[in-house]
Structure 1
Amino acid sequence: MDNSVLQDAILNGLISTQYQGNTLLGPQLLTNNQSSTIWQTLRHELLSCKNFTWSVAFITLDMLVPFKAVMADLAQQGVQGTIITSDYLNFNHPAMFEELQKIPNLTVRIADLNGFHTKGYLFDHGKYQTVIIGSANFTRSALLVNKEWNLKLSSRQEGSLFQQLTAELNAVKHESTVLTSEWIAEYRKNWQPPKTRVTQPEKLKPIEPNQMQQAALGQLSTLIKTGAKKGLVVSATGTGKTYLGAFAVNKYQPRRFLYVVHREQIAKKSLASFRRVIGGKKTDYGLLTGNRHDWNAKYLFATVQTLSQQAVLDKLKATEFDYILIDEAHRAAAPSYQRILNHFMPQFWLGMTATPERMDNQDVFKLFDYHLAYEIRLKDALAAKMLAPFHYVGVTDYEVDGEVITETSKLNQLIVSKRVNYVLNQLDYYGYCGDQPRGLVFCSRQAEAKELAVQFNAANHPAIALTNQSSSQERAKAVEQLEAGKIEYIITVDLFNEGVDIPSVNQIVMMRNTQSPIVFIQQLGRGLRKYPGKDFVTVIDFIGNYQHNYMIPLALNQDNSRSKDQARREVKVPTNFDVSTINFTKVAEEQILASLDKVKLDSMRELRQAYHDLANQLGRAPLLGDFYRYGSVDPRVFAQNSQLNHYGDFLEKMGTELKLTKYERQVLAFLTKELLNGKRPHELILLQCLLRGTCSIDAFKAELEQQNIRVTPAVLQSVDDILSLQFFNVKAGKQLKKDQYGGLPIIDHPDLLTYQLNSKIRAGLESDNDFKCLFTDVLTTGLEIAKQYDLKQAFTLYQQYDRKDVCRLLNWPLDVSAPLYGYRVAEDVCPIFITYHKDAEEKRNAIYNNQLQDGRSLRWYTRTPRHLSSDEVQRLLAGVKEGKPQVKLHLFVKQSDAVGKEFYYLGPAYVQPDSVREELVGPKKKAAVGMDLVLEQPLTPAMMNLLAI
């Protein structure tokens, strides 16, 4: 990096935005918002620095798990760091210092200074240094959600600011000592936690519905008022599902109430919760289990095993209860539950579940008349503070003879002592919240669980293995021992996916292949219940070389889109859910991406399953708009599927009979393949207007202006080119592309100033309900998708476009994407397409060595042979030397050819005039013109991570 890059960045930040400076290097105000957090910036700086020194007064345990994940990767690169902190105000917990000691590539120093309250983060990048100073301590709240202000600055070593900072850090270091175990022991002896405000004891507090429960109760009341007899509530594990049921029953005031659940232990706990909410005499509440038969209780809590017996049902009238609640309602398709559902006739059935999706394809929604009264999913529950936050870390599993564990690894490889030691070291490194670990370990085989328990015990980590052969008494005793702290781990094979409540669990350990997002969320949920003193749960996932690793980011993000691009983003730039974090070590990330590259997320099998899941929820065949509205498959996935011309094709594959003519199918194919992506809404808006009849050009322009959408003569002409199909008047295989879409213009012009749909489409819309339904579905869905884009501009920063999209959005009269390749110099614009990482060394970008490492500029070359005197080059560079370029450059980049046809739009770029020169490039040394391109908007850290720069 030369001095001009840093200089321009500083001038941009401190003098004027007219200087095209690099925002990654320039002065920047860091805050926490929806698009970024202070932690994301710190993480990016850590991963790109050569060493770092932090001087920060307060550090909390709850931020160390994601920090350790980064430090583990830095340790592999030999990167060291130093943190200077203190014992100021007794804020820092003794356990926090112990956890810092576990990080081998970190030196911790304790400042011996009164009133030490600094908050500064210095990163040495070799050629320059970056410092972040402001209000944020190294705490979870400060780095993820609080309103904090921090100033980020970059400087050379020779800079006055850096020298001042270095001098201050050296002074602080001089007044500090290296953290030792002896210091921690002495600190712990005298440490007292900061005083907190005394609150009313929990047992005296009246139970009131929280905000989300209030919303659910309102929806249930509305549903009942409509005359519905059944309703389903989907509520994430730990969100107060039982209390919500009690509030609902109390509001309904039934004559008699029945609660059905699959375990006596849960029935007893639910009874206590209901009594706490509803109140009344103790004799009003009773159990119907194998051990008790309180037949006359007003509020009866029954196990399904007892209630479903025919002799028991015979004693209870069909109308015995006017309100029945089925807990864990996803089980209700089982024969025992069906006997109960078929016997009773209450005024209202309420089903409650955390996981309505079923791996056995049973239709849970149908059992409750497709009435989804309310839904509280994991992300919403975390944001509403209803659950304990989690810190997930995906680490690579142990290597045996150079090979990472796979699904087919032999048992002796899974239980080899070196693997167990590796696992225990990772559990110790990432730690837990609390005085000791209380962990659930999920593994893949029963023999593995038993042997792991033996080795955990031998290593002084008391553990019990539970399998489906363990009795209910053995399971209950193990849970009791874990809660009492007599053991540290319960090791099981999918046994505790649901139906167990151990709020004190502070570690979830996954030592098995993820084969189902449903099971993954169930197991994650075992640790998310709130518990006194539990500020977070640590989730450690040992990721082997598994075929289904791609499911991990999908499960964590509850992503059903079937979009590979979305899944890659979730791995490369993990999302934070409020103060919960997702972290992958570098090797684990590579294993997930390798798995993702091998899978076809949008296969017909995957789409068929998604269709059935959503159809079960809706009680009818879903349309594209339903998939979008319910956060299921991204509708664009159907458009991109080579086996489908339009969504009607898919419906027919699902068994729906449609009456469509050949031409109607061609029109639907045009709408789906060309317009559904919403990247320009103009055509969709015009077609929607034309559903009502003719539309004048003035009325069309007025509609666009009212929606604050850009409209120019060139755009209007391009819309006409698209809807007349002239844009597609190019060869595609053996025929003109426009012929694939029926050959006829979609719109006619009765006169020069009016649009209308062509007569065949009008006739089809008037007489064919299937055609009209599918036609309007594409329009409405496309317009919803269009809301993702900046409709005032042709392109939206960091959105994805393929070459055909670019031709259309630049208002070119023809689709010239086929011969476009790397760039095309038009009259006043030139789109440039760059594949950042080429697989083959002889390929173009491997030869030309495009770089974006400073987040701002790269060296780019024309095609060969080209000279400075070439007409194309002259047009490209016209006005560049004078600072008035005549051709605007738009830069599009994708990571590699493996990610598909779409490129990320990185924004406009300009040529550095003094960088232009003719060079000989490639193995055959052919002439090309090279130049430095500079982005007007430097890349964000997230985009640099996504492109692996």
Structure 2
Amino acid sequence: MELLATNLPGQLRMLDVIRRALKSADDVAISVSFLRFSGLQLLVDDLKRFTARGGRVRLLTSTYLGITQPEALRVLATIKGAEVRVHLAKNPLQGFHPKFFVFQGAQTECWVGSSNISKGGLTSNVEANLRHDSEQALEEALSAFEMIWEHPDVWRLSDELTDQYALALLQSATQRMAVSQVLVPEPRVRVQPNSAQAEALVNLARLRELGETRAVVIAAPGVGKTFLAAFDAEAAGAERVLFLSHRLEHLTQAKKTFEQVFGTRRTTGLVYGELKQTQAEFVFSTVQSANALESTAFDYVVVDEFHHAAAPTYRALLSKIKPQFLLGLTATPERQDGHDVLSLCDFNIAYEARLIEAINRSWLVPFHYFGIADETVDYSESIWRSARLNLEQVETALMLETRVAHILEHALEKGFDGARRACVGFCAGRRHAKFMSEKLNERGLCATYLTGENSLEEREETYANLENPEHALEWLFVADLLNEGVDIPGINSLLFLRPTDSATIFIQQLGRGLRLSPDCEVLTVLDFVGHHRNAWLNMEVLRDAAAAPNASTLPEFDLTPPKQCEILLDDVTREILLKVRRFTRRKSDWCEETYRSLRDEKGKPPFPVDLIGRADAPSLGDFRAVYGSWLDCRKTFYDADPWEMALEKDHLGWELLAQCEKNWQQPRVYAYALLWGLCAAPRTPKEGYEEFFERYPRWRAEYAPAESTNAWQTLEKKLGRLLDGKALNAEVFDQIPSSALLEHVELRLQYTLEADFRLRHGGVLRTPAELVVHRAYTRQEIVNHFRQQYDPALHNAGVITFEVGAESHIVMITKLDTSGAKSEFHYVNQFDGPQRFLWQSQNRQTQENRSGRAILDHKEDGASLHLFVQTKSHSSPHYLGKVDVESVEGNAPMNVTFSLRHRLTDELCELWLEGVRK
């Protein structure tokens, strides 16, 4: 049993102490200074179960500094069997700081320390709560608690007390606002890029240096894509900018953003409807209105929500405009309404920061997700049209009085973090949104609804009211709105009130509440989960695949949320999700759905290149495993041209196309460029090779004349009979029309080429200090954290040395299980308890040679030794932090014992040590 709860990574959290104790205790006494929904919502179900089985709980908190939320007190008052008292801070100079957690029962213990009942106090703040279980300590703690419990300034919780406290807080807030309004405003400080924007700006500048004219940035909602566009337009020296969007809200917000960055250096104007401010230097226009612009002389074009850019209206406009640089912005290029958009920027993904990374890096606020069983609705097959929802049927099914009561009960109980509620509910359609608004208003709550039918002015006024602390509006129900783009940082709670039919739409909607806000440290998310085929989609979105198991992991689902986030499921929801998950689609079904979806979006048969950038799509390897080759896939769906249908597996044409679908694991681009050149008839291979680097200017970073490379040797090895000297076998041209050959080869090669470019040249360079202990990293990410781009020719060793500034670093990447390797590469690597790792070197390494001494003498040499361990075959290595040499035995190989500076958690011990416990 641990003695200290600090909430530090890998150590005990106070949340887990309380939850564990509530399962076995009979009598609980808790005293905290502050009580907030961000902590109470994590415990409310545990407290209800505790009192339901007859447990006695006394909870004491205070009004000190006005931090305790009145609404949280109201929820406590509804828990049957809970006794609650409040210390009233009559003297503003008198603080109230006692933190007791006394649990009596089968395991009697007392924790005294620093945690309040808040998200920070229970899970994320660095705290110090010490466990005591001696009889004397328990008696003294209980005696102190009883004395405070009976203090004259402590009152029983009542509706009257809560009302008075809430009124006092409101009056205090009003006074502070009145004072702030008469203060002289501080001089405006020029806005600066945040860390995500700074990283993206480096990559965008590098692409322009390489000659690229188009790129896309994929980043989670709330990371600041519009600000990034403004900063990059400034970096590119843009004098005339066109900002395109299909939503009016996006344009007005974007205009304000660019004005913050450029100040008065550029004139700005809006173009939509009857408004035609076309003479401005920076024009913010809907795509429909932009098609009517008289002048298309813009040197920098931004396409917001780039996933819409394949629509005919966008394509018509972009074909007329020839800017020096075009930047697409999107959070989800793989949206169902996204179409074939990445091809519009030649698959130049300049930067990517998806939702999980953005939360982990504190660019977005963390969430508490509550999966609540939705048993009031019959999710029968009638609500589905093939794989899509029948929204008319869904609306009718969801509009139930009993469901409203169910939703409201949980929304009020789980609450919100912030000065007041600012809640958005996502509905199935206009009727559903109106119904929810009306039903809450009937119950005395202030609610409204918006749809795409509302004017821009109506929408912006409602958004402002929702954020205004003096306005009564707290509940906003929407349909076909807030799926993208609109920035409302004041939102602190979300309700998902309809079945999900798209994980990417769920990401966009979740992003509405994840903007950083000084008044909210956690977003409260209530998802009403029904028993239907898509119930598992949202859970997959919330999974942090690179995180090691920890106290927040749901073990039955092998699901770990992002840093400082929690996923809480009631028992019925767990049963629903376990049942739904058992019927997950087969790989063949996944490939078929993806192929059909891509074909519908593009309006023509897709190719491997169309899988790029789609986080929800199978890999090309998955398609090859199901169909054998992409050609066979096209034949299966009757999309093959007549010449394709004639190709059989023993034909050279089939063999060439199949080879183009394989990743040859080349450390340089030369062989692919030469193959591209061979197919670029009537050019000579040398001319085609040179033209490849004109077609893909970003590959100039690796350019070398073909004759100075080993490209021909690689092709001879990979293509064999497909070559006839220094040309393709003539039979290939007999079987594949020359007019189709280069296109079909290129659309296959691009899949590997784009992945290779991002692997070797597209990494975001970071520092060793940004590595997170126990997190999994790809080899490329490891190298990038030591300020270098990944080079397979240099960085595939097990021990790599880096110089970062004046600091030296030795990185060790090793495997626990080497049984799948050749016998000469079998090493004995294993954990010896939670703070030791036994490592065996390569057979040629000794205690005397240079590489061996570098490891053994790393401290004396002033080098940091970093250990990464691959726990499963084909998995990414987990970072175990800096380690020290404890002992060494033997030579060729050496057997070294490393001491870990970061102790393995209980969860990792169970997973990695096969029974070893703390």
For Structure 1 versus Structure 2, the TM-score category normalised by the shorter chain is 0.5 to 0.7
Q: In the alignment, what sits opposite 1:490?
A: 476
1:596 aligns with 2:576: no
The 8 Å contact of residues 70 and 585 in structure 1, kept in 2 or not, is answered as no
Write the distance in 2 (CA, Å) between the matches of 1:589 and 1:123. Answer: 28
Q: CA deviation at 1:285?
A: 1.9
Q: CA deviation at 1:288?
A: 2.5
- 1:419-498 pair list within 5 angstroms: 419-434=403-418, 436-467=420-451, 475=459, 478-479=462-463, 482=466, 485=471, 487-498=473-484
Amino acid at match of 1:549: A
1:58 aligns with 2:38: no
- 1:269-668 pair list within 5 angstroms: 269-280=253-264, 284-309=267-292, 312=293, 315-317=294-296, 320-360=297-337, 362-399=339-376, 408=383, 414-434=398-418, 436-467=420-451, 475=459, 478-479=462-463, 482=466, 485=471, 487-530=473-516, 533-557=519-543, 569=554, 575=560, 577-600=562-585, 602-605=587-590, 609=594, 621=608, 649=628
Distance 1:240 1:406, change over 3 A: same
1:136 aligns with 2:115: yes
Q: In the alignment, what sits opposite 1:19?
A: none
Q: In the alignment, what sits opposite 1:148?
A: 127
Gaps (5+ residues) in structure 2? Answer: 384-392, 635-652, 666-775, 779-791, 802-809, 827-842, 845-869, 882-904
Q: In the alignment, what sits opposite 1:123?
A: 103
SS of the residue corresponding to residue 62 of structure 1 reads: helix
Q: CA deviation at 1:539?
A: 1.9
SS of the residue corresponding to residue 66 of structure 1 reads: coil
Write the distance in 2 (CA, Å) between the matches of 1:610 and 1:51. Answer: 59
Write the distance in 2 (CA, Å) between the matches of 1:532 and 1:701. Answer: 44
Amino acid at match of 1:173: W
Write the distance in 2 (CA, Å) between the matches of 1:395 and 1:71. Answer: 17
Q: CA deviation at 1:719?
A: 5.4
Q: In the alignment, what sits opposite 2:727?
A: none
Residue deviations 1:254-288, cap 9 Å, x none?
Answer: 23221111133432332222122112367x22222
Write the distance in 2 (CA, Å) between the matches of 1:259 and 1:718. Answer: 54
Give percent identity, aligned residues only: 26
Distance 1:302 1:623, change over 3 A: closer
Q: In the alignment, what sits opposite 1:81?
A: 57
Q: CA deviation at 1:337?
A: 0.4
Write the distance in 1 (CA, Å) between the matches of 2:209 and 2:123. Answer: 42
The 8 Å contact of residues 382 and 578 in structure 1, kept in 2 or not, is answered as yes
The 8 Å contact of residues 359 and 562 in structure 2, kept in 1 or not, is answered as yes
Write the distance in 2 (CA, Å) between the matches of 1:518 and 1:570. Answer: 25
1:107 aligns with 2:83: yes
Write the distance in 2 (CA, Å) between the matches of 1:711 and 1:573. Answer: 20
Write the distance in 1 (CA, Å) between the matches of 2:493 and 2:519. Answer: 14
The 8 Å contact of residues 231 and 371 in structure 1, kept in 2 or not, is answered as yes
Write the distance in 2 (CA, Å) between the matches of 1:708 and 1:95. Answer: 51
- 1:820-831 pair list within 5 angstroms: none
Write the distance in 2 (CA, Å) between the matches of 1:520 and 1:623. Answer: 22
Write the distance in 2 (CA, Å) between the matches of 1:274 and 1:718. Answer: 55
Distance 1:203 1:430, change over 3 A: farther
Write the distance in 1 (CA, Å) between the matches of 2:337 and 2:546. Answer: 18
Q: CA deviation at 1:459?
A: 1.6
Q: CA deviation at 1:421?
A: 2.0
Write the distance in 1 (CA, Å) between the matches of 2:632 and 2:14. Answer: 48
Q: CA deviation at 1:700?
A: 11
Q: In the alignment, what sits opposite 1:210?
A: 194
Root-mean-square deviation over aligned CA pairs: 5.3
Residue deviations 1:410-466, cap 9 Å, x none?
Answer: 866633323222222222222234565433222235443333333222222343344
Q: CA deviation at 1:368?
A: 1.1
Amino acid at match of 1:133: V
Residue deviations 1:18-75, cap 9 Å, x none?
Answer: xxxxxxx353554321676443443344455555321222333432332335445556
Gaps (5+ residues) in structure 1? Answer: 1-24, 669-678, 682-690, 693-698, 724-752, 755-779, 792-854, 857-890, 894-903, 909-934, 939-949
Q: CA deviation at 1:209?
A: 1.3
Q: In the alignment, what sits opposite 1:39?
A: 15
Distance 1:36 1:252, change over 3 A: farther
Equivalent position to 1:787, from 877, 887, 898:
877
Write the distance in 1 (CA, Å) between the matches of 2:597 and 2:257. Answer: 36
Distance 1:43 1:295, change over 3 A: same
Q: CA deviation at 1:306?
A: 0.8
Write the distance in 2 (CA, Å) between the matches of 1:711 and 1:395. Answer: 39
- 1:155-234 pair list within 5 angstroms: 159-175=135-151, 176-188=154-166, 201=185, 204-234=188-218
Amino acid at match of 1:213: Q
Amino acid at match of 1:184: T
Q: In the alignment, what sits opposite 2:721?
A: none
Write the distance in 2 (CA, Å) between the matches of 1:706 and 1:301. Answer: 49
Distance 1:97 1:453, change over 3 A: closer
Write the distance in 2 (CA, Å) between the matches of 1:69 and 1:292. Answer: 54
Write the distance in 1 (CA, Å) between the matches of 2:342 and 2:820. Answer: 48
The 8 Å contact of residues 466 and 473 in structure 2, kept in 1 or not, is answered as yes
Q: CA deviation at 1:717?
A: 12
How does the TM-score come out when normalised to structure 2? 0.62
- 1:797-876 pair list within 5 angstroms: none
Write the distance in 2 (CA, Å) between the matches of 1:583 and 1:178. Answer: 30
Write the distance in 2 (CA, Å) between the matches of 1:215 and 1:564. Answer: 29
Amino acid at match of 1:452: M
The 8 Å contact of residues 5 and 11 in structure 2, kept in 1 or not, is answered as no
Residue deviations 1:302-356, cap 9 Å, x none?
Answer: 21111124xx3xx325xx1111111111110110000111111111101111222
The 8 Å contact of residues 442 and 510 in structure 1, kept in 2 or not, is answered as yes
Q: CA deviation at 1:221?
A: 0.9
Q: CA deviation at 1:84?
A: 1.7
Distance 1:178 1:649, change over 3 A: farther
1:244 aligns with 2:223: no
Distance 1:92 1:609, change over 3 A: same
Distance 1:416 1:324, change over 3 A: closer
Amino acid at match of 2:495: V
SS of the residue corresponding to residue 477 of structure 2 reads: strand
Q: CA deviation at 1:571?
A: 7.0
Distance 1:515 1:59, change over 3 A: same
The 8 Å contact of residues 629 and 658 in structure 2, kept in 1 or not, is answered as no
Count of matched residue pairs: 672
Write the distance in 1 (CA, Å) between the matches of 2:590 and 2:551. Answer: 19
Distance 1:458 1:606, change over 3 A: farther
Distance 1:465 1:53, change over 3 A: same
Write the distance in 2 (CA, Å) between the matches of 1:324 and 1:549. Answer: 39
Q: In the alignment, what sits opposite 1:734?
A: none
SS of the residue corresponding to residue 144 of structure 1 reads: helix
SS of the residue corresponding to residue 243 of structure 2 reads: strand
